[in-house]
Amino acid sequence: MIAGLIYVAAFCGVCLALLAAIGLIVYFAKYKHILDVTSNISSPPTLPLIGHGHHFLGKQSHEFVQVFKKFCLEYGPTYKLWIGPSFHILLGDVRDVEEVLGSTRFNDKAHEYAALEPWLNEGLLLSSGRKWHSRRKVLTPAFHFKILENFIGIFERESRVLVENLDKEYRMHSDEGFDLYNWVNLCTLDTICETAMGVSVNAQTNADSEYVRAVKTIAMVLHKRMFDILCRFELTYRFTRLAREEKKALAVLHGFTEKVIVQRREELLKAQEAGKLDAADEDTGSKRKMAFLDILLQSQVDGKPLTNMDIREEVDTFMFEGHDTTSSAVTFCFYNLANYPECQQKCFEEIVQVLGKDKSKPVTFEDLNNLHYLDLCIKETLRMFPSVPLLGRKVTEECEINGKIIPAGTNIGISPLQLGRLEELFPDPDTFKPERFEAGYSTERLNPYAYIPFSAGPRNCIGQKFAVLEIKTILSNVLRHYSVEYVGPGEEEIHLIAELILRTKDPLMFKIKPRVYY
């Protein structure tokens, strides 16, 4: 018996020694070269094998932003990070950012985006190479201003429902603060569903529907996978409860999208056979507005129509990119306008000047384009609080960027959040100053890659005009009905979480008060 135990212990010891030897071989074969060629790039102190992982151990997700801010102050805007098997270089020099984003050499997305693959597959956000290029070419016309103009009615209608919900909130809790983000998030979900697929999920009136719950589950899963070490690696993640929840939610989301695609394809085929592709709605007699889905159904790549899977991954990508990102931007806009009441008043006066005092008057495409000061406030908000705080690229072949050797396999990180708060780029960066984006102001002398809330270069956000028009519609309709007051947490207590979408650890709380027109 004792001899057997000794044998087992010896065997285990040999296995551990073998694993350690393999680890050392991998280290010297791969990581030694990486560290040698990047020796001119600054770095926080490392530990063997885990690299910089110890800087993040025991930290909560909201503390990560402060860690990165500390690294930037101590080691400069460009530094390297080695966490377990992943090697990263964070680029904070605008010239380096331009080199990466301005070229198709760095078209592949970083490893962190892999968490999106089960939902988005190889849609425009995640695809690369020829597939990305052909899809981008097909999708670009979908965001032409003539198409966007057709979406204004949806923006208007759903933002009006938001106003009605805020009115109920005011009547029930006029003296209390409430989480404005929850209402905005439901509004943008309804908006993106209708513009993407031509159907409404009525999230604002039925927030507990199966589809809405599935969307919330996916958002929660993506957050967990960013910061939970067991969830970052597929080998361990697949055995977690979170993976099972994700699977159920994806079945709902994919099933819904596929059902709508099949149904709309059949409708289009019937319309084509009848010679009425733009047939009127049978109930209202009005011409049906084209959704993003309709454009995809009529598109071709290399002379062939897109398959249902092709369409699903692009519709789902549009859903992801146009939902939480817009909610984040709108909420932070209200935060800034509430904390700078003189700016909120200027926005209100401009809205009244453009739209008039009749609060029932629908906003139009022309109206939105005439809200110039509101546009400045949105731009300044996205400088301070970019909806996507970190952009990632994968280096497929060893290369040089402005004198820095970047090894193959490196994940390049570029932070619009960091760039937007650099004093040398934006003086007094922590102060909300919409005027800095006025024509002729200092930003015209900036490198265009210094301000990148919608990324930049060939892979910039294809839907940025869509997003700004939606944000303007929501802000203008809320502000013409209510003044907005911020009630907490205090500035020193706000902790940003820089995951796929920027958010705060604790909800931002607001009070609203009905506008009185004289």
Element (H, E) at 304: strand 304-305
Tell me the pairing of strands 86-91 and 411-414.
parallel
For residue range 204-225, list pLDDT tens digits in order.
999 889 999 999 999 999 888 8
| pLDDT tens readout for residues 295-345 | 999 998 888 999 999 999 999 999 999 999 999 999 999 999 999 999 999
Task: pLDDT band for 442, please (50, 70, 90 cuts).
Answer: low
**Would you say 513 and 491 are in contact if contact means Cβ atoms under 8 Å apart?**
no
What pLDDT, on a 0 to 100 scale, did the predictor assign at position 279? Answer: 46
Q: Which residue has the higher pLDDT, 334 or 17?
A: 334
Q: What pLDDT does 242 receive?
A: 92
Spatial distance between the Cα atoms of 294 and 178, rounded to a whole number of angstroms: 38
Q: Global pTM?
A: 0.90
Mean pLDDT of 174-186: 92
Identify the CA nearest to 430 among candidates 484, 385, 487.
Answer: 385
- Please check the confidence at residue 82 and state whether its pLDDT lies above 90: no
Give yes or no for residue 470 having a pLDDT over 60: yes
For 168, residues 6+ apart whose C-beta sits below 8 A from its C-beta are: none
Where residue 3 falls among pLDDT bands split at 50, 70, 90?
Answer: low
> What pLDDT score does 281 carry?
47
Q: Give 431's Cβ-side CA count (13 Å radius).
A: 7
Q: Enumerate residues 6+ apart whose C-beta is below 8 A from 312.
A: 121, 254, 257, 258, 261
Is residue 57 over pLDDT 60? yes
Task: Write out 30-58 in H/E/C secondary structure.
Answer: HHHHHHHHCCCCCCCCCECCCECHHHCCC
Determine the average pLDDT of the residues in 502-506: 94
With beta carbons less than 8 A apart as the criterion, state whether 256 and 211 touch. yes
Burial of 171 (0-12, 13-18, 19+ CB in 10 A): exposed
On average, the pLDDT of the chain sits at 89
At 134-164, the pLDDT tens digits run: 999 999 988 988 889 999 999 999 999 999 9
Q: How much is the average pLDDT of 54-59?
A: 83
Domains of the chain are 40-514 (1.10.630.10)
- Per the annotation, does 461 bind a ligand? yes
What is the torsion angle, in degrees rounded to the nearest 10, for the CA atoms of residue 78, residue 84, residue 85 and residue 89? 0
Q: Over 50: is that where the pLDDT of 283 sits?
A: no
pLDDT tens figures, 97-118:
999 999 989 999 998 898 999 9
Q: Please tell me the predicted confidence (pLDDT) of residue 365.
A: 97
| pLDDT score for 362 | 96
